[in-house]
Amino acid sequence: MARRIKGPAVFLAQFLRDEEPFCSLASIGKWFAGMGYKGVQVPAWDRRVLDLDQAAASRGYCDDYRGRLADLGLELTELAGYLQGQVLAVHPAYAVGFAAFHPPGLDGPARTAWAAEELKKCIRASANLGLCNIPVLSGGFAWHLAYPWPQRPSGLIDEAFKELARRWLPLLDLAHDHGCVLGYELHPGSDLFDGATFELFLEQTRDHPAACINYDPSHLLLQQLDYLEFIELYGKRISGFHVKDAEFRPSGRVGVYGGYQPWVKRAGRFRSLGDGQVDFKRVFTLLTEAGFNGWAVLEWECCVKSPEQGAREGAPFIARHLIETTDVAFDDFVGGKSDTATNRKLLGLS
């Protein structure tokens, strides 16, 4: 029997900080390996754990990088380009809010050019490292128009997605040329945030084979989308998997929009694995049935529990949900040999 989904793995971004053991690849890798993690997803923007310029330019650097992880008992699962993707397309209303995602002083075309170049480095580095999925956010121009009031003029959303596709198509082509795909995490604040918007993007990119999905059920649950049927609809496009839990508990005071409240007071909140409402047994089953064979990567975000406890609980939680696929049928013991004559007899056609 073979296990189809690999894991457990962890996304490092939320755990990195300037103190031991969270401040370097060696120390944080050792910390996670000691808890049973087998893989790490690395934020491509954080120089504490990766020199993206060197990774994009030097296979020697990449071979050494993988060797250092192997010495810790870890594999590299993906390089994540979320911040770079988000600022590839920024509406002016969000320019200040996303300024921390890029070097100071960049705006407009200069910011877009920087983001595009960084994403190209992510693609080249991933190829040098033997990786195929690059998780990203799409960025966007129309998020402030998600609620149709005031009424949207005809053609407005089409124009937004045409421009979004224009910026991403050269990167999708480059990824495809390097044997990689871009896994868009469907996320609020980006124009790709659900199945319908992903389909709009596919229309504008001519169903580009490198346009895929980094599946995260937590974001889908918080917008009350059927995150299980989503796998059945788009399973063939799912190239990555963030194992993140969430809960939605509306009240007479707050609902989906959250009332501008802090995370702890919102109806929809991210939780540590097992503390929310995501049906992970069904998620892992559907992903396995869809043929997903990538990594199950913990993304920890919880407004109640500490990251240390979330990390300790995450590895065994994921390990319990990994499915070893079977190559035999459970009722083979009562089966008989088949041939055309027997089959015709069973059908009353002899």
Tell me the per-residue pLDDT of 236-285, one tens digit each, with 9 for 90 and over: 999 999 999 999 999 999 999 999 999 999 999 999 999 999 999 999 99
| pLDDT band (50, 70, 90) for residue 2 | low
Long-range contacts of 307-314 (CB under 8 A, 24+ apart): 307/14, 307/15, 309/272, 310/272, 310/273, 311/10, 311/15, 311/32, 311/35, 312/35, 313/272, 313/273, 313/274, 314/8, 314/10, 314/35, 314/37, 314/243, 314/272, 314/273
Tell me which of 104-113, 198-207, 222-231, 322-331 is least confident.
Answer: 322-331
Q: What is the predicted pLDDT for the residue at 23?
A: 96
137: left (phi over 0), alpha (psi -120 to 50) or beta: beta
Q: Compute the Cα dihedral for 302, 324, 68, 238 and give only its sign.
A: negative
Interacting residues of 30 by C-beta distance below 8 A, sequence separation 6+: 21, 72
> How many angstroms from the chain centroid is the CA of residue 247?
19
Judged against a pLDDT cut of 60, whether residue 203 lies above it is answered with yes
Judged against a pLDDT cut of 90, whether residue 51 lies above it is answered with yes
d(CA 37, CA 331): 35
Judged against a pLDDT cut of 80, whether residue 292 lies above it is answered with yes
Judged against a pLDDT cut of 80, whether residue 335 lies above it is answered with no
**Among residues of the chain, what percentage have pLDDT more than 70?**
98
d(CA 156, CA 302): 36
Considering only CA atoms, which of 90, 80, 178, 174 is closest in space to residue 134?
80
Q: What is the mean pLDDT of residues 155-160?
A: 98
Judged against a pLDDT cut of 60, whether residue 322 lies above it is answered with yes
225 three-state secondary structure: coil
Supply the DSSP symbol for 145. G
d(CA 46, CA 31): 18
**Among residues of the chain, what percentage have pLDDT more than 90?**
93
> How many angstroms from the chain centroid is the CA of residue 262?
24
Which domains are delineated in the chain?
2-346 (3.20.20.150)
Judged against a pLDDT cut of 80, whether residue 337 lies above it is answered with no
Q: Compute the Cα dihedral for 25, 298, 300, 96 and give only its sign.
A: positive
d(CA 295, CA 322): 10
Alpha-carbon Rg for the chain, nearest whole angstrom, is 22
Q: What is the predicted pLDDT for the residue at 1?
A: 44
Cβ atoms of 292 and 285 within 8 Å: the answer is no
Can you point out the beta strands (E) in 25-139? Answer: 39-43, 75-80, 133-136
- Residue 107 token pair: 């705006």
